[in-house]
Amino acid sequence: MTDDEIIARAESLASRQSTLGELFGVTGEELYGTASLALLLAAHGSMGEARTLMDGLLALSPGDGLLYTIYGEIAHLDGDKPKTSHLLRVSVEMGNLGPAERIRRGELAYWARDFLSARSEIARMDTTDTDPLVKNRREKLVQKLGKVNGN
């Protein structure tokens, strides 16, 4: 790699025109596959490894809302409510969140007792979504939130 190429890549990173993951040629499939592995590790109690993987993924793609949501789920599995809430707050304005991710975020916010954020996620969801799993989870969350006063 020439000096000019290195400078061009550094400028691209500095101006946020590209991510480190893009410069290294890491695909979305690789990012999300690794995030799934981190979630699996967390589900089996390997929290340190799961957090290390997620920290690396966020370094590669710092603006990816789905990665923050998955990391929030790992924090949830670890019983870390403050970190769960923080990760969900960070990803609020980030893109690439579909209905399944929105309901996941809503459920995690509910678990963290952040009822306002849980309601906000439901409000952002497309109510015409026909995925029965998403629809069922949404209905259950709406029922749970209906039982909560305030917030």
**Residue pLDDT, tens place only, 81-139:** 889 888 887 876 665 677 877 888 888 888 888 898 889 888 888 777 677 888 888 89
Helix (H, G, I), strand (E, B) or coil at 135: helix
Tens digits of per-residue pLDDT, 2-54? Answer: 877 777 767 766 676 767 777 778 888 999 999 999 999 999 999 999 999 99
Burial label, 49 (beta-carbon count in 10 A; 0-12, 13-18, 19+): middle
The class that CATH gives domain 1-95 is: mainly alpha
pLDDT (0 to 100) of residue 55: 95
pTM of the model: 0.69
Q: Where do you find CATH 1.25.40.10 in the chain?
A: 1-95
